[in-house]
Structure 1
Protein backbone atom coordinates (compact mmCIF):
# COMPACT_ATOMS: atom_id res chain seq x y z
CA UNK A 1 0.00 0.00 0.00
CA UNK A 2 1.51 3.32 -1.08
CA UNK A 3 1.86 6.48 0.93
CA UNK A 4 -1.10 8.23 -0.72
CA UNK A 5 -3.46 5.43 0.22
CA UNK A 6 -2.27 5.48 3.82
CA UNK A 7 -2.78 9.25 3.97
CA UNK A 8 -6.30 8.94 2.62
CA UNK A 9 -7.19 6.23 5.12
CA UNK A 10 -5.70 8.27 7.98
CA UNK A 11 -7.67 11.35 6.88
CA UNK A 12 -10.93 9.41 6.71
CA UNK A 13 -10.35 7.92 10.17
CA UNK A 14 -9.49 11.37 11.57
CA UNK A 15 -12.72 12.81 10.17
CA UNK A 16 -14.73 9.94 11.68
CA UNK A 17 -13.20 10.57 15.10
CA UNK A 18 -13.59 14.36 14.93
CA UNK A 19 -17.12 14.36 13.50
CA UNK A 20 -18.90 13.66 16.85
CA UNK A 21 -17.04 16.57 18.46
CA UNK A 22 -18.01 18.90 15.62
CA UNK A 23 -21.63 17.73 15.85
CA UNK A 24 -21.63 18.30 19.61
CA UNK A 25 -20.25 21.82 19.15
CA UNK A 26 -22.79 22.75 16.46
CA UNK A 27 -25.73 21.39 18.47
CA UNK A 28 -24.58 23.26 21.57
CA UNK A 29 -24.48 26.53 19.62
CA UNK A 30 -28.03 26.13 18.30
CA UNK A 31 -30.85 27.92 20.17
CA UNK A 32 -32.55 25.79 22.80
CA UNK A 33 -35.36 23.76 21.24
CA UNK A 34 -34.00 23.92 17.69
CA UNK A 35 -34.38 20.76 15.61
CA UNK A 36 -30.90 19.28 15.13
CA UNK A 37 -31.73 15.85 13.74
CA UNK A 38 -31.54 16.79 10.05
CA UNK A 39 -28.23 17.38 8.26
CA UNK A 40 -29.57 20.66 6.82
CA UNK A 41 -30.00 22.02 10.35
CA UNK A 42 -26.37 21.31 11.21
CA UNK A 43 -24.88 23.34 8.37
CA UNK A 44 -27.18 26.32 8.93
CA UNK A 45 -24.87 28.72 10.77
CA UNK A 46 -27.03 31.86 10.84
CA UNK A 47 -28.64 31.07 14.21
CA UNK A 48 -25.52 30.09 16.16
CA UNK A 49 -25.49 31.55 19.67
CA UNK A 50 -23.70 31.15 23.00
CA UNK A 51 -26.93 31.53 24.99
CA UNK A 52 -26.96 27.83 25.87
CA UNK A 53 -23.54 28.12 27.49
CA UNK A 54 -24.77 31.07 29.54
CA UNK A 55 -27.83 29.10 30.67
CA UNK A 56 -25.79 26.07 31.67
CA UNK A 57 -23.17 28.10 33.54
CA UNK A 58 -25.68 30.26 35.41
CA UNK A 59 -28.30 27.53 35.94
CA UNK A 60 -26.04 24.84 37.37
CA UNK A 61 -22.91 24.29 39.45
CA UNK A 62 -20.93 23.09 36.45
CA UNK A 63 -18.06 25.53 37.02
CA UNK A 64 -17.75 24.43 40.65
CA UNK A 65 -17.87 20.79 39.55
CA UNK A 66 -15.17 21.49 36.97
CA UNK A 67 -13.01 23.17 39.63
CA UNK A 68 -13.50 20.24 42.02
CA UNK A 69 -12.56 17.78 39.27
CA UNK A 70 -9.47 19.83 38.42
CA UNK A 71 -8.27 20.05 42.02
CA UNK A 72 -8.86 16.37 42.70
CA UNK A 73 -7.32 15.37 39.37
CA UNK A 74 -4.16 17.44 39.89
CA UNK A 75 -3.64 16.27 43.49
CA UNK A 76 -4.32 12.63 42.57
CA UNK A 77 -1.97 12.83 39.58
CA UNK A 78 0.92 14.41 41.46
CA UNK A 79 0.68 12.05 44.44
CA UNK A 80 0.22 9.01 42.19
CA UNK A 81 3.31 9.88 40.14
CA UNK A 82 5.33 10.45 43.31
CA UNK A 83 4.33 7.16 44.94
CA UNK A 84 4.49 5.17 41.70
CA UNK A 85 7.96 6.46 40.84
CA UNK A 86 9.29 5.67 44.33
CA UNK A 87 7.87 2.14 44.16
CA UNK A 88 9.10 1.67 40.58
CA UNK A 89 12.60 2.79 41.61
CA UNK A 90 12.71 0.35 44.51
CA UNK A 91 11.56 -2.57 42.34
CA UNK A 92 13.93 -1.63 39.52
CA UNK A 93 17.15 -0.61 41.25
CA UNK A 94 17.06 -1.77 44.87
CA UNK A 95 17.76 -5.42 45.78
CA UNK A 96 15.64 -6.82 48.61
CA UNK A 97 14.02 -10.12 49.54
CA UNK A 98 10.75 -11.16 47.93
CA UNK A 99 11.00 -8.35 45.37
CA UNK A 100 9.58 -10.49 42.57
CA UNK A 101 6.72 -11.78 44.72
CA UNK A 102 5.76 -8.32 45.93
CA UNK A 103 5.88 -6.91 42.40
CA UNK A 104 3.59 -9.67 41.11
CA UNK A 105 1.31 -9.14 44.12
CA UNK A 106 1.00 -5.40 43.45
CA UNK A 107 0.52 -5.66 39.70
CA UNK A 108 -2.09 -8.40 40.19
CA UNK A 109 -4.32 -5.63 41.48
CA UNK A 110 -4.97 -4.84 37.83
CA UNK A 111 -7.03 -8.04 37.68
CA UNK A 112 -9.42 -6.89 40.41
CA UNK A 113 -12.29 -4.72 39.15
CA UNK A 114 -13.20 -1.64 41.17
CA UNK A 115 -16.76 -2.88 41.61
CA UNK A 116 -15.48 -5.89 43.55
CA UNK A 117 -14.07 -3.74 46.37
CA UNK A 118 -16.70 -1.01 46.55
CA UNK A 119 -18.39 -2.31 49.72
CA UNK A 120 -15.23 -2.69 51.89
CA UNK A 121 -13.87 0.54 50.44
CA UNK A 122 -17.06 2.38 51.33
CA UNK A 123 -17.06 0.95 54.86
CA UNK A 124 -13.46 2.04 55.36
CA UNK A 125 -14.25 5.52 54.07
CA UNK A 126 -17.28 5.71 56.34
CA UNK A 127 -15.25 4.73 59.43
CA UNK A 128 -12.65 7.37 58.56
CA UNK A 129 -15.39 10.04 58.33
CA UNK A 130 -14.42 10.86 54.76
CA UNK A 131 -17.88 10.64 53.20
CA UNK A 132 -18.68 13.81 51.22
CA UNK A 133 -15.00 14.77 51.37
CA UNK A 134 -12.60 15.27 48.46
CA UNK A 135 -10.04 12.99 50.11
CA UNK A 136 -12.52 10.13 49.79
CA UNK A 137 -11.91 10.35 46.03
CA UNK A 138 -8.20 11.18 46.14
CA UNK A 139 -6.91 8.46 48.46
CA UNK A 140 -8.35 5.40 46.65
CA UNK A 141 -7.06 6.85 43.39
CA UNK A 142 -3.47 6.53 44.62
CA UNK A 143 -3.51 2.72 44.61
CA UNK A 144 -3.54 2.09 40.85
CA UNK A 145 -0.61 -0.29 40.12
CA UNK A 146 -0.44 0.59 36.42
CA UNK A 147 1.85 3.54 37.21
CA UNK A 148 4.31 1.28 39.04
CA UNK A 149 4.28 -1.23 36.20
CA UNK A 150 4.91 1.35 33.47
CA UNK A 151 7.51 3.42 35.31
CA UNK A 152 9.46 0.32 36.35
CA UNK A 153 9.84 -0.62 32.70
CA UNK A 154 11.36 2.77 31.96
CA UNK A 155 13.60 2.76 35.04
CA UNK A 156 14.91 -0.65 34.01
CA UNK A 157 16.40 1.17 31.03
CA UNK A 158 18.42 3.58 33.20
CA UNK A 159 22.08 2.41 32.89
CA UNK A 160 23.53 0.84 36.02
CA UNK A 161 26.73 2.82 35.39
CA UNK A 162 24.90 6.03 36.32
CA UNK A 163 23.68 4.51 39.58
CA UNK A 164 27.10 3.09 40.49
CA UNK A 165 28.87 6.37 39.67
CA UNK A 166 26.43 8.27 41.90
CA UNK A 167 26.95 5.77 44.72
CA UNK A 168 30.73 6.18 44.44
CA UNK A 169 30.25 9.95 44.74
CA UNK A 170 28.37 9.38 47.98
CA UNK A 171 24.81 9.90 46.77
CA UNK A 172 22.09 8.27 48.81
CA UNK A 173 19.09 6.36 47.55
CA UNK A 174 16.74 9.33 47.54
CA UNK A 175 19.23 11.57 45.76
CA UNK A 176 19.85 8.95 43.06
CA UNK A 177 16.09 8.67 42.52
CA UNK A 178 15.65 12.44 42.40
CA UNK A 179 18.69 13.48 40.34
CA UNK A 180 19.11 10.51 37.98
CA UNK A 181 16.00 8.36 37.60
CA UNK A 182 13.41 11.12 37.54
CA UNK A 183 15.08 13.26 34.82
CA UNK A 184 15.74 10.22 32.63
CA UNK A 185 12.13 9.03 32.87
CA UNK A 186 10.49 12.47 32.52
CA UNK A 187 8.62 11.62 29.31
CA UNK A 188 7.31 8.39 30.82
CA UNK A 189 6.17 10.22 33.95
CA UNK A 190 4.32 12.81 31.88
CA UNK A 191 2.58 10.05 29.93
CA UNK A 192 1.63 8.21 33.12
CA UNK A 193 0.55 11.51 34.67
CA UNK A 194 -1.80 12.19 31.75
CA UNK A 195 -3.22 8.71 32.16
CA UNK A 196 -3.86 9.29 35.87
CA UNK A 197 -5.40 12.72 35.18
CA UNK A 198 -7.83 11.37 32.59
CA UNK A 199 -8.64 8.40 34.83
CA UNK A 200 -9.43 10.74 37.72
CA UNK A 201 -11.39 13.10 35.49
CA UNK A 202 -13.62 10.31 34.12
CA UNK A 203 -14.09 8.56 37.47
CA UNK A 204 -17.83 8.30 38.06
CA UNK A 205 -19.02 5.41 40.22
CA UNK A 206 -16.92 5.98 43.33
CA UNK A 207 -17.45 9.80 43.49
CA UNK A 208 -21.17 9.24 42.87
CA UNK A 209 -21.33 6.96 45.94
CA UNK A 210 -19.19 9.00 48.33
CA UNK A 211 -20.10 12.61 47.52
CA UNK A 212 -23.54 13.54 48.80
CA UNK A 213 -23.62 17.33 48.53
CA UNK A 214 -23.90 19.22 45.26
CA UNK A 215 -21.16 21.59 46.40
CA UNK A 216 -18.52 18.84 46.61
CA UNK A 217 -19.55 16.95 43.47
CA UNK A 218 -17.10 16.52 40.65
CA UNK A 219 -18.00 16.99 37.01
CA UNK A 220 -18.45 13.31 36.15
CA UNK A 221 -20.93 12.81 39.01
CA UNK A 222 -22.70 16.16 38.78
CA UNK A 223 -23.19 16.14 35.03
CA UNK A 224 -25.66 13.21 34.99
CA UNK A 225 -27.78 15.07 37.55
CA UNK A 226 -27.93 18.08 35.28
CA UNK A 227 -28.63 15.95 32.21
CA UNK A 228 -31.51 14.14 33.94
CA UNK A 229 -33.16 17.49 34.56
CA UNK A 230 -32.77 18.49 30.90
CA UNK A 231 -33.44 15.18 29.19
CA UNK A 232 -35.79 16.76 26.67
CA UNK A 233 -33.31 19.38 25.44
CA UNK A 234 -30.56 17.95 23.27
CA UNK A 235 -29.06 21.42 22.87
CA UNK A 236 -28.54 21.82 26.62
CA UNK A 237 -27.19 18.29 26.96
CA UNK A 238 -24.59 18.88 24.25
CA UNK A 239 -23.68 22.24 25.78
CA UNK A 240 -22.98 20.67 29.17
CA UNK A 241 -21.09 17.82 27.51
CA UNK A 242 -19.04 20.32 25.51
CA UNK A 243 -18.04 22.22 28.64
CA UNK A 244 -17.05 18.94 30.30
CA UNK A 245 -14.92 17.92 27.29
CA UNK A 246 -12.96 21.18 27.02
CA UNK A 247 -10.39 20.51 29.81
CA UNK A 248 -9.47 17.04 28.56
CA UNK A 249 -9.13 18.29 24.98
CA UNK A 250 -6.81 21.06 26.17
CA UNK A 251 -4.67 18.60 28.14
CA UNK A 252 -4.22 16.36 25.10
CA UNK A 253 -3.55 19.33 22.81
CA UNK A 254 -0.86 20.74 25.11
CA UNK A 255 0.84 17.48 26.11
CA UNK A 256 0.39 15.33 23.01
CA UNK A 257 4.13 15.58 22.21
CA UNK A 258 4.98 13.93 25.54
CA UNK A 259 2.44 11.17 24.90
CA UNK A 260 4.06 10.35 21.56
CA UNK A 261 7.53 10.40 23.14
CA UNK A 262 6.38 8.07 25.90
CA UNK A 263 4.95 5.58 23.43
CA UNK A 264 8.06 5.78 21.23
CA UNK A 265 10.43 5.25 24.17
CA UNK A 266 8.47 2.24 25.45
CA UNK A 267 10.20 0.08 22.84
CA UNK A 268 13.74 1.21 23.73
CA UNK A 269 15.73 -1.25 25.84
CA UNK A 270 18.45 0.02 28.15
Structure 2
Protein backbone atom coordinates (compact mmCIF):
# COMPACT_ATOMS: atom_id res chain seq x y z
CA UNK A 1 0.00 0.00 0.00
CA UNK A 2 2.86 2.34 0.84
CA UNK A 3 4.51 1.63 -2.53
CA UNK A 4 1.27 2.42 -4.36
CA UNK A 5 1.03 5.74 -2.52
CA UNK A 6 4.65 6.59 -3.33
CA UNK A 7 4.25 5.68 -7.01
CA UNK A 8 1.01 7.65 -7.23
CA UNK A 9 2.68 10.69 -5.69
CA UNK A 10 5.63 10.32 -8.06
CA UNK A 11 3.36 10.18 -11.10
CA UNK A 12 1.39 13.17 -9.84
CA UNK A 13 4.55 15.23 -9.39
CA UNK A 14 5.78 14.19 -12.84
CA UNK A 15 2.50 15.31 -14.40
CA UNK A 16 2.67 18.63 -12.56
CA UNK A 17 6.15 19.27 -13.93
CA UNK A 18 5.38 18.06 -17.47
CA UNK A 19 2.14 20.03 -18.02
CA UNK A 20 3.85 23.46 -18.30
CA UNK A 21 6.40 21.99 -20.71
CA UNK A 22 3.68 20.49 -22.91
CA UNK A 23 1.73 23.75 -22.78
CA UNK A 24 4.81 25.65 -23.94
CA UNK A 25 5.19 23.46 -27.04
CA UNK A 26 1.44 23.51 -27.77
CA UNK A 27 1.30 27.31 -27.64
CA UNK A 28 4.39 27.59 -29.81
CA UNK A 29 2.50 25.89 -32.65
CA UNK A 30 -0.65 27.97 -32.22
CA UNK A 31 -1.39 31.18 -34.20
CA UNK A 32 -0.60 34.48 -32.54
CA UNK A 33 -3.24 35.33 -29.95
CA UNK A 34 -4.26 31.71 -29.19
CA UNK A 35 -2.86 30.81 -25.77
CA UNK A 36 -4.47 27.34 -25.52
CA UNK A 37 -5.95 27.83 -22.07
CA UNK A 38 -8.72 25.24 -22.35
CA UNK A 39 -8.37 21.51 -23.01
CA UNK A 40 -10.32 21.87 -26.26
CA UNK A 41 -7.70 24.29 -27.56
CA UNK A 42 -4.97 21.84 -26.53
CA UNK A 43 -6.37 19.00 -28.60
CA UNK A 44 -7.43 21.16 -31.55
CA UNK A 45 -4.81 20.45 -34.21
CA UNK A 46 -6.59 22.26 -37.04
CA UNK A 47 -4.82 25.58 -36.47
CA UNK A 48 -1.25 24.38 -35.95
CA UNK A 49 1.33 26.52 -37.70
CA UNK A 50 5.08 26.93 -38.00
CA UNK A 51 4.80 30.68 -38.46
CA UNK A 52 6.00 31.37 -34.93
CA UNK A 53 9.17 29.35 -35.47
CA UNK A 54 9.79 31.11 -38.77
CA UNK A 55 9.40 34.47 -37.04
CA UNK A 56 11.80 33.63 -34.21
CA UNK A 57 14.43 32.15 -36.52
CA UNK A 58 14.31 35.09 -38.95
CA UNK A 59 13.92 38.00 -36.53
CA UNK A 60 16.51 36.89 -33.98
CA UNK A 61 19.92 35.26 -33.92
CA UNK A 62 18.74 32.42 -31.70
CA UNK A 63 20.59 29.77 -33.71
CA UNK A 64 23.81 31.77 -33.37
CA UNK A 65 23.22 32.18 -29.63
CA UNK A 66 22.57 28.46 -29.30
CA UNK A 67 25.76 27.68 -31.21
CA UNK A 68 27.77 30.01 -28.97
CA UNK A 69 26.30 28.39 -25.85
CA UNK A 70 27.10 24.90 -27.13
CA UNK A 71 30.70 25.78 -28.02
CA UNK A 72 31.35 27.58 -24.75
CA UNK A 73 29.64 24.83 -22.74
CA UNK A 74 31.58 22.04 -24.48
CA UNK A 75 35.00 23.70 -24.14
CA UNK A 76 34.36 24.74 -20.53
CA UNK A 77 33.17 21.25 -19.61
CA UNK A 78 36.04 19.35 -21.20
CA UNK A 79 38.81 21.55 -19.81
CA UNK A 80 37.30 21.87 -16.34
CA UNK A 81 36.67 18.14 -15.97
CA UNK A 82 40.24 17.31 -17.00
CA UNK A 83 41.69 19.89 -14.59
CA UNK A 84 39.41 18.70 -11.79
CA UNK A 85 40.31 15.05 -12.39
CA UNK A 86 44.05 15.78 -12.43
CA UNK A 87 43.83 17.87 -9.25
CA UNK A 88 41.63 15.23 -7.58
CA UNK A 89 44.25 12.58 -8.36
CA UNK A 90 46.95 14.69 -6.73
CA UNK A 91 44.93 15.32 -3.58
CA UNK A 92 43.63 11.77 -3.35
CA UNK A 93 46.70 9.69 -4.15
CA UNK A 94 49.76 11.89 -3.59
CA UNK A 95 51.30 12.91 -0.28
CA UNK A 96 52.95 16.30 0.22
CA UNK A 97 53.36 18.60 3.20
CA UNK A 98 51.04 21.43 2.14
CA UNK A 99 48.25 19.23 0.77
CA UNK A 100 45.76 20.22 3.47
CA UNK A 101 46.43 23.93 2.96
CA UNK A 102 46.03 23.78 -0.82
CA UNK A 103 42.89 21.68 -0.60
CA UNK A 104 41.26 24.12 1.83
CA UNK A 105 42.31 26.99 -0.40
CA UNK A 106 40.74 25.35 -3.47
CA UNK A 107 37.58 24.27 -1.65
CA UNK A 108 37.09 27.75 -0.19
CA UNK A 109 36.25 28.92 -3.69
CA UNK A 110 32.77 27.49 -3.13
CA UNK A 111 32.25 29.99 -0.31
CA UNK A 112 32.91 33.06 -2.46
CA UNK A 113 29.80 34.32 -4.30
CA UNK A 114 30.20 35.08 -7.98
CA UNK A 115 28.99 38.65 -7.47
CA UNK A 116 31.97 39.38 -5.20
CA UNK A 117 34.42 38.54 -8.00
CA UNK A 118 32.76 40.34 -10.90
CA UNK A 119 34.83 43.53 -10.72
CA UNK A 120 38.29 41.89 -10.43
CA UNK A 121 37.33 39.34 -13.08
CA UNK A 122 36.21 42.12 -15.40
CA UNK A 123 39.47 44.03 -14.86
CA UNK A 124 41.46 40.88 -15.58
CA UNK A 125 39.55 40.03 -18.75
CA UNK A 126 39.81 43.66 -19.88
CA UNK A 127 43.59 43.68 -19.41
CA UNK A 128 43.83 40.47 -21.47
CA UNK A 129 41.75 41.96 -24.31
CA UNK A 130 39.19 39.16 -24.04
CA UNK A 131 36.03 41.25 -23.76
CA UNK A 132 33.28 40.31 -26.22
CA UNK A 133 34.83 36.92 -26.93
CA UNK A 134 34.13 33.30 -26.06
CA UNK A 135 37.38 32.95 -24.12
CA UNK A 136 36.36 35.88 -21.95
CA UNK A 137 33.49 33.68 -20.75
CA UNK A 138 35.36 30.36 -20.70
CA UNK A 139 38.51 31.21 -18.73
CA UNK A 140 36.83 32.48 -15.52
CA UNK A 141 34.58 29.41 -15.57
CA UNK A 142 37.50 26.99 -15.28
CA UNK A 143 38.05 27.62 -11.57
CA UNK A 144 34.98 25.90 -10.14
CA UNK A 145 36.24 23.53 -7.37
CA UNK A 146 33.05 21.43 -7.23
CA UNK A 147 34.40 18.83 -9.65
CA UNK A 148 37.67 18.55 -7.72
CA UNK A 149 35.84 17.75 -4.47
CA UNK A 150 33.42 15.22 -5.94
CA UNK A 151 35.93 13.39 -8.15
CA UNK A 152 38.42 13.24 -5.26
CA UNK A 153 35.70 11.74 -3.08
CA UNK A 154 35.08 9.14 -5.78
CA UNK A 155 38.81 8.37 -6.09
CA UNK A 156 39.11 7.94 -2.33
CA UNK A 157 36.70 5.02 -2.63
CA UNK A 158 38.90 3.17 -5.12
CA UNK A 159 41.33 0.48 -3.90
CA UNK A 160 44.97 1.53 -3.77
CA UNK A 161 46.00 -1.81 -5.22
CA UNK A 162 45.68 -0.43 -8.77
CA UNK A 163 48.15 2.34 -8.02
CA UNK A 164 50.64 0.10 -6.21
CA UNK A 165 50.60 -2.52 -8.98
CA UNK A 166 51.11 0.14 -11.67
CA UNK A 167 53.96 1.75 -9.75
CA UNK A 168 55.70 -1.61 -9.43
CA UNK A 169 55.59 -1.81 -13.23
CA UNK A 170 57.26 1.60 -13.46
CA UNK A 171 54.17 3.63 -14.27
CA UNK A 172 54.70 7.38 -13.71
CA UNK A 173 52.13 9.67 -12.12
CA UNK A 174 50.76 11.22 -15.31
CA UNK A 175 50.43 7.84 -17.03
CA UNK A 176 48.86 6.43 -13.86
CA UNK A 177 46.22 9.15 -13.90
CA UNK A 178 45.55 8.90 -17.63
CA UNK A 179 45.53 5.11 -18.06
CA UNK A 180 44.09 3.89 -14.76
CA UNK A 181 42.28 6.49 -12.71
CA UNK A 182 40.56 8.31 -15.55
CA UNK A 183 38.88 5.13 -16.87
CA UNK A 184 37.92 4.07 -13.33
CA UNK A 185 36.30 7.43 -12.61
CA UNK A 186 34.67 7.83 -16.03
CA UNK A 187 31.11 7.77 -14.68
CA UNK A 188 31.97 10.38 -12.07
CA UNK A 189 33.63 12.59 -14.68
CA UNK A 190 30.63 12.32 -17.00
CA UNK A 191 28.30 13.25 -14.15
CA UNK A 192 30.41 16.25 -13.21
CA UNK A 193 30.66 17.19 -16.88
CA UNK A 194 26.87 17.27 -17.15
CA UNK A 195 26.66 19.60 -14.16
CA UNK A 196 29.36 21.86 -15.59
CA UNK A 197 27.62 21.98 -18.97
CA UNK A 198 24.27 22.89 -17.41
CA UNK A 199 25.93 25.57 -15.27
CA UNK A 200 27.61 27.02 -18.35
CA UNK A 201 24.37 26.82 -20.35
CA UNK A 202 22.41 28.72 -17.68
CA UNK A 203 25.15 31.23 -16.87
CA UNK A 204 23.72 34.72 -17.28
CA UNK A 205 25.49 37.35 -15.17
CA UNK A 206 29.05 36.97 -16.46
CA UNK A 207 28.22 36.63 -20.20
CA UNK A 208 25.86 39.62 -19.84
CA UNK A 209 28.77 41.72 -18.52
CA UNK A 210 31.48 40.50 -20.89
CA UNK A 211 29.63 40.33 -24.23
CA UNK A 212 28.77 43.59 -25.96
CA UNK A 213 27.62 42.61 -29.44
CA UNK A 214 24.43 40.72 -30.24
CA UNK A 215 26.22 38.25 -32.50
CA UNK A 216 28.51 37.03 -29.70
CA UNK A 217 25.77 36.64 -27.10
CA UNK A 218 24.94 33.27 -25.60
CA UNK A 219 21.42 31.94 -25.36
CA UNK A 220 20.99 32.93 -21.70
CA UNK A 221 21.62 36.61 -22.52
CA UNK A 222 20.35 36.85 -26.09
CA UNK A 223 16.97 35.27 -25.43
CA UNK A 224 15.82 37.82 -22.78
CA UNK A 225 16.91 40.62 -25.11
CA UNK A 226 14.71 39.25 -27.88
CA UNK A 227 11.78 38.48 -25.59
CA UNK A 228 11.85 42.00 -24.15
CA UNK A 229 10.81 43.28 -27.58
CA UNK A 230 7.96 40.73 -27.80
CA UNK A 231 6.62 40.89 -24.26
CA UNK A 232 2.99 41.03 -25.47
CA UNK A 233 3.34 38.11 -27.89
CA UNK A 234 2.85 34.95 -25.82
CA UNK A 235 3.19 32.57 -28.77
CA UNK A 236 6.51 34.10 -29.81
CA UNK A 237 7.81 33.89 -26.26
CA UNK A 238 6.83 30.22 -25.96
CA UNK A 239 8.39 29.43 -29.34
CA UNK A 240 11.72 30.99 -28.41
CA UNK A 241 11.63 29.23 -25.05
CA UNK A 242 10.88 25.90 -26.75
CA UNK A 243 13.85 26.29 -29.10
CA UNK A 244 16.09 27.14 -26.15
CA UNK A 245 14.86 24.14 -24.15
CA UNK A 246 15.38 21.53 -26.87
CA UNK A 247 19.23 21.15 -26.51
CA UNK A 248 19.08 20.68 -22.73
CA UNK A 249 16.20 18.21 -23.11
CA UNK A 250 18.26 16.17 -25.57
CA UNK A 251 21.25 16.17 -23.20
CA UNK A 252 19.06 15.03 -20.32
CA UNK A 253 17.39 12.25 -22.32
CA UNK A 254 20.70 10.88 -23.58
CA UNK A 255 22.56 11.15 -20.28
CA UNK A 256 19.86 10.75 -17.64
CA UNK A 257 21.55 7.64 -16.19
CA UNK A 258 24.70 9.61 -15.50
CA UNK A 259 22.72 12.49 -14.03
CA UNK A 260 21.20 10.11 -11.48
CA UNK A 261 24.69 8.78 -10.71
CA UNK A 262 25.90 12.33 -10.23
CA UNK A 263 23.16 13.06 -7.73
CA UNK A 264 23.97 9.92 -5.75
CA UNK A 265 27.73 10.38 -6.07
CA UNK A 266 27.90 12.63 -3.01
CA UNK A 267 27.10 9.54 -0.95
CA UNK A 268 30.31 7.77 -1.99
CA UNK A 269 32.56 7.35 1.02
CA UNK A 270 36.32 7.25 0.90
Alpha-carbon offset, residue 222 of structure 1:
0.4
Counterpart position of 1:172: 172
Alpha-carbon offset, residue 41 of structure 1:
3.2
Aligned pairs for 1:114-153 within 5 A: 114-153=114-153
Q: Is the 8 A contact 2:27 2:35 kept in 1?
A: no
Counterpart position of 1:228: 228
Spell out, residue by residue over 1:147-182, the C-alpha distance to the aligned partner (whole angstroms, 9 max, x if none): 101100001112111101000000000111011111
Alpha-carbon offset, residue 74 of structure 1:
0.3
User: How many angstroms apart in 2 are the aligned matches of 1:267 and 1:173?
Assistant: 27
Counterpart position of 2:251: 251
Counterpart position of 2:16: 16
User: How many angstroms apart in 2 are the aligned matches of 1:224 and 1:263?
Assistant: 30
Counterpart position of 2:161: 161
> Normalising by structure 2, what TM-score?
0.96
Unmatched tracts of structure 2, length 5 or more = none
SS state of the match for residue 31, structure 2? coil
Alpha-carbon offset, residue 80 of structure 1:
0.4
The CA RMSD over aligned residues, in Å, is: 1.4
Counterpart position of 2:50: 50
Aligned length: 270
User: How many angstroms apart in 2 are the aligned matches of 1:18 and 1:243?
Assistant: 17
User: How many angstroms apart in 2 are the aligned matches of 1:256 and 1:126?
Assistant: 39
Spell out, residue by residue over 1:203-253, the C-alpha distance to the aligned partner (whole angstroms, 9 max, x if none): 001001100011111111100110011111010001001100000010000
Q: Is the 8 A contact 2:85 2:151 kept in 1?
A: yes
Counterpart position of 1:217: 217
Alpha-carbon offset, residue 45 of structure 1:
2.7
Alpha-carbon offset, residue 126 of structure 1:
0.7
Q: Specify whether residues 17 and 176 from structure 1 end up closer, same or farther in structure 2 by C-alpha distance, changes over 3 A only.
A: same
Q: Is the deviation greater in 194-203 or in 97-106?
A: 97-106
SS state of the match for residue 139, structure 1? helix
Q: Is the 8 A contact 2:153 2:268 kept in 1?
A: no
Counterpart position of 1:32: 32
SS state of the match for residue 96, structure 2? coil
> Normalising by structure 1, what TM-score?
0.96
User: How many angstroms apart in 2 are the aligned matches of 1:36 and 1:221?
Assistant: 28
SS state of the match for residue 13, structure 1? helix
Q: Specify whether residues 210 and 53 from structure 1 end up closer, same or farther in structure 2 by C-alpha distance, changes over 3 A only.
A: same
Q: Is the 8 A contact 2:110 2:145 kept in 1?
A: yes
SS state of the match for residue 200, structure 1? helix
Alpha-carbon offset, residue 266 of structure 1:
4.5
SS state of the match for residue 31, structure 1? coil
Q: Specify whether residues 130 and 234 from structure 1 end up closer, same or farther in structure 2 by C-alpha distance, changes over 3 A only.
A: same
Q: Does 1:197 align with 2:197?
A: yes
Unmatched tracts of structure 1, length 5 or more = none
Q: Does 1:102 align with 2:102?
A: yes
Alpha-carbon offset, residue 23 of structure 1:
1.0
Counterpart position of 2:111: 111
SS state of the match for residue 267, structure 2? coil
